[in-house]
Structure 1
Amino acid sequence: MSTTASSRRAWRSQLAFCTADPFHESTAEAFHFIRDGVVVCENGRFAAVGEAERILPTLGDDIPIEHYPDHIIIPGMVDAHVHYPQHGIIGAYSGELLEWLEQVAFPAEAAFADRAHADSVAEEFLEGLLTNGTTTALVFATVHEASVEAFFTAAARRGLRMICGKVLMDRNAPAALLDTADSGDRQSRALIERWHGHDRLGYAVTPRFALTSSSAQLSSAGRLLEAYPDVLLHTHLCENPHEIQAVKGEFPHCEDYLGVYEAHGLVGSRSVFAHSIHLSEREQACLGEHDAAVAFCPMSNFALGSGLFDLDAARQHRLRVALGSDVGAGNSLSLLRCLDEAYKTCKLRGQRLEPAHALYLATLGGARALGLERQIGSLEVGKEADFVVLDPLATPDQRSRNVPPRDASERLFTIFSLGDDRCVAQTIAAGRVAHRRTAEAIPS
């Protein structure tokens, strides 16, 4: 059921958005800041975007306008890697990746054989995304069909643009979480036919990672990509040194970790590889040559001690880079908090993450990684009206700053470095208010 708006509405505030990649274009051309701007929504899309003095005279008196003079409107944020079944295990104590999977993640995911449980968590998860200003996400479900059905049902009811897939996992995991190459293929095809392209929903073929899928299953995933030329491939790559060694042991004839996916037809322009921290030069070059995307997941990389993503190397190889919360190893659905961790990752590597570049990663960069840049990711006429109204003085630390921001970049930086869900005054999806901060949540 579509929930797009049919009447015209407008929001007036400061506007900040990218229309190109500031990593490869000049910031002046890619980044836009309008001190007094208006966005007009009609039928779920942007009907007008620009300076208030230009747009306001064109609006009739009957068009409602919400005015936030001290706030900033940005495009809806895009989470390019997150596990909705792990929403309830945020903050669990454990060791590194493989131990964490065994002790924390796998037991939690086993419960998703129960559709009622999956329905409940899907509802909570989507509310969590919207509360944090995320309007689109690339989402892991579990091996159970019911987990995907629950997620898509909840997302469709809200009219959200979401991508999800059933996990493919036929070895090296608890028996209750295993499928087979045949059953995984059959169930994935049924889910694609039912949900892909329904309203604003999309499907991703989702082998968990090379360690938990046999060669037969990875080959089956490659055939799914051939059969459905507009679905995505979503998996993990080079997250942890012990993981990499384990994959080498399972696939000794492949040159490296990415070579496993290459050998099974899984590396291409529709592929999104989460983490990609410990890549060789060959793997970096191969990803660039195939126009693949990677999801930068700093919160979980810190939490599990996995390592530091090399943003400069990704830029040099012209990889499409997006941001991922990677909940539940990541400890928040807030991409504002994620951007703060991304900034720190770059600092530790001796690199820079400028505010405009950070905004790009969380919005248009995410849209491009998911092949959705024509639909979402910026404030442009004709695109789907997904956006967020951010309050730059929502937290005590933000209010205690006694030096005003020097310019638009510093204003964004203070939100990215000090902000969280409290900064999200409104989240608008397809022109409708999907989340509004309650009066109780507004600081005095």
Structure 2
Amino acid sequence: MSMSFPIQKTVIRGRFLDIQSLVSQADQISQQVRYFEDGLMIVEQGKIRQFGHWDELNQHLSDTDIIEHYPEQLIIPGFIDTHIHYPQTEMVGAYGEQLLSWLNTYTFPTELQFKNPHYAKGIADFFVQELLKNGTTTALVFCTVHPESVDALFEAAEALQMRLIAGKVLMDRHAPEGLCDTAERAYEESKTLIEKWHGKGRALYAITPRFAPTSTPEQLEKAGQLKQEYPDVYVHTHLSENKDEIAWVKDLFPQQKGYLDVYHHHGLTGKRSVFAHCVHLEEDEWQCMHQTDSAIAFCPTSNLFLGSGLFPLKKTWEKQVKVGLGTDIGAGTSFSLLQTVNEAYKVQQLQGDKLSAYESFYHATLGAAKALDLDDKLGNFNIGKEADFVVLDLKATLLQRLRQSKSKSLEDALFALFTMGDDRNVEATYVYGQKVYQKD
């Protein structure tokens, strides 16, 4: 049962920060930073109707408008998580394995439980609340092979008018019997779910092969057929995360040039195709990602936790490949994109590269929206966009209070937040103009 929301006007006053337009190089981002020390945003029916300086816009308000004022906090666009597994919420921090053994030891046994719709609902509700508590308002989400798991997640998001992209996992080999479908069943169940959910409210659907080794060529062909039949749905999968995985793919698909070519051959690359990790891409794979307008989800906490490797973020600018940040719960270790950015910075440092606060901010908001082909709807405060935003307290701890008192600039304050921040910094989260989370 979906909740009906009254048509409401939301009026927010405070300090606003966003990136006002897309860029083609990292050094252009600082020129697009927009900051209002005393700003005003007027939201009607979930969309931003007015945005600018308080002094210039307050005459548009009536005596009956209720103003929510955040004078001390920082208001930013909602964080966008480009890769996360909701069924793995309960197994974060599972010890001691690399990718393939981690899947067999922890992931598959956990995912078997999601055939039960009541179980799926409990975790889906928890998951959505955890996203909001961390300031994440949109996510691209893996479910399990069970259609029940997809229904549970979309129902939880629908109750809050939340924009999520998700899909049923396709897996017909190299996994426990209870987690395997067939090429035909994967096609039929996905088709039914697309018809049921894609474009309903703010829900969007993703065709979701787990990764090439757990799908037969027949199943990948069926996935490609779905993409042809429904060209505006997404494709969401994993690519080149771990060197053993890459070798395995080469053994399983000797007729293809490499890992990415397996997906490309089956028609699964493209504008709405998002590939998680991409830590070890070959030169021709970077070229293919660029030419097909495919996107990467960079998941630093996961890559470090599983020992997968260091993602070369700088190369996404060189090769002009879209990229967003992903938490990758549960190989990733935090729902917080603040924590994720903190680790992203370190991953670049280990490669001798810098990651500025503004570039991090871009990858977590407007850049991620572009990676998900949603930059016309999300990612900044431009008029007409959907009003998903987060109110941040930059001084949530005593140490942060001290550090922020020494900040020399807005960029420095932001960098300190990204280095030290977590869910404690999220004071409130708004989805479609409605407050859906408030810190106790």
Q: Shorter chain as normaliser: what TM range?
A: over 0.9
| Match in the other structure for 1:263 | 265
| Match in the other structure for 2:368 | 366
| Match in the other structure for 1:339 | 341
| Match in the other structure for 2:426 | 424
Q: How large is the Cα RMSD of the aligned pairs?
A: 1.2
| Match in the other structure for 1:6 | 7
| Match in the other structure for 1:394 | 396
| Match in the other structure for 2:193 | 191
Return the match for 2:69 from 67, 77, 81: 67
Amino acid at match of 2:19: C
CA contact (8 A) 2:403 2:416 kept: no
Q: Does 1:121 align with 2:123?
A: yes
Amino acid at match of 1:54: E
Aligned positions of 1:14-413 closer than 5 A: 14-22=15-23, 24=25, 26-401=28-403, 403-413=405-415
| Match in the other structure for 2:436 | 434
Tell me the distance in 2 between the aligned counterparts of 1:259 and 1:178: 24
Residues 373/339 of structure 1: CA separation in 2 closer, same or farther (3 Å cut): same
Tell me the distance in 2 between the aligned counterparts of 1:268 and 1:358: 24
Tell me the distance in 2 between the aligned counterparts of 1:245 and 1:314: 24
Tell me the distance in 1 between the aligned counterparts of 2:206 and 2:10: 33
Deviation (angstroms), 1:205: 0.2
Deviations 1:217-266 (A, max 9, x none): 00100000000011000000000001001111100111111011111111
CA contact (8 A) 2:116 2:148 kept: yes
Q: TM-score scaled to structure 2, two decimals? A: 0.97
Tell me the distance in 2 between the aligned counterparts of 1:10 and 1:255: 54
Tell me the distance in 2 between the aligned counterparts of 1:4 and 1:245: 51
Amino acid at match of 2:67: I
Out of 27-36 and 137-146, give the one that drifted further: 27-36
Deviation (angstroms), 1:5: 5.4
Tell me the distance in 2 between the aligned counterparts of 1:82 and 1:423: 21
Amino acid at match of 2:29: T
Q: Where in structure 1 are there 5+ consecutive unaligned residues?
A: 439-444
CA contact (8 A) 2:10 2:434 kept: no
Deviations 1:311-333 (A, max 9, x none): 11111111110000000001111
Q: Secondary structure at the match of 1:307?
A: coil
Tell me the distance in 2 between the aligned counterparts of 1:367 and 1:100: 30
Deviations 1:391-443 (A, max 9, x none): 000123202327422111111111111110011101000000010011xxxxx
Tell me the distance in 2 between the aligned counterparts of 1:297 and 1:428: 25
CA contact (8 A) 1:4 1:43 kept: no
Deviations 1:65-94 (A, max 9, x none): 121112111001100000000000011113
Out of 41-50 and 180-189, give the one that drifted further: 41-50
CA contact (8 A) 2:40 2:53 kept: yes
CA contact (8 A) 1:4 1:432 kept: no
Amino acid at match of 1:277: V
Amino acid at match of 1:12: R
Deviation (angstroms), 1:7: 2.3
Tell me the distance in 2 between the aligned counterparts of 1:296 and 1:437: 28
Deviation (angstroms), 1:28: 4.4
Tell me the distance in 2 between the aligned counterparts of 1:315 and 1:204: 26
Deviations 1:17-41 (A, max 9, x none): 1122345272344221111111111
CA contact (8 A) 2:114 2:149 kept: yes
Count residues in correspondence.
438
Tell me the distance in 1 between the aligned counterparts of 2:220 and 2:280: 22
Tell me the distance in 2 between the aligned counterparts of 1:93 and 1:28: 40
Q: Secondary structure at the match of 2:196?
A: helix
Tell me the distance in 2 between the aligned counterparts of 1:198 and 1:29: 37
Q: Secondary structure at the match of 1:259?
A: helix
Out of 116-125 and 346-355, give the one that drifted further: 346-355
Q: Secondary structure at the match of 2:159?
A: helix
Out of 181-190 and 349-358, give the one that drifted further: 349-358
CA contact (8 A) 1:196 1:202 kept: yes
Amino acid at match of 2:324: A
Out of 24-33 and 159-168, give the one that drifted further: 24-33
Amino acid at match of 1:175: E
Deviation (angstroms), 1:121: 0.2
Amino acid at match of 1:313: K
Q: Where in structure 2 are there 5+ consecutive unaligned residues?
A: none
CA contact (8 A) 1:33 1:408 kept: no
Deviation (angstroms), 1:129: 0.2
Tell me the distance in 2 between the aligned counterparts of 1:308 and 1:57: 51
Out of 135-144 and 38-47, give the one that drifted further: 38-47
Tell me the distance in 2 between the aligned counterparts of 1:338 and 1:396: 22
Give structure 1 regions of 4+ aligned residues with deviation exceeding 6 angstroms. Answer: none
Out of 352-361 and 301-310, give the one that drifted further: 352-361
Tell me the distance in 2 between the aligned counterparts of 1:4 and 1:392: 31
Q: Secondary structure at the match of 1:26?
A: helix
| Match in the other structure for 1:441 | none
Deviation (angstroms), 1:206: 0.2
Aligned residues with identical type, % of pairs: 45
Q: TM-score scaled to structure 1, two decimals? A: 0.97
Q: Secondary structure at the match of 2:246?
A: helix
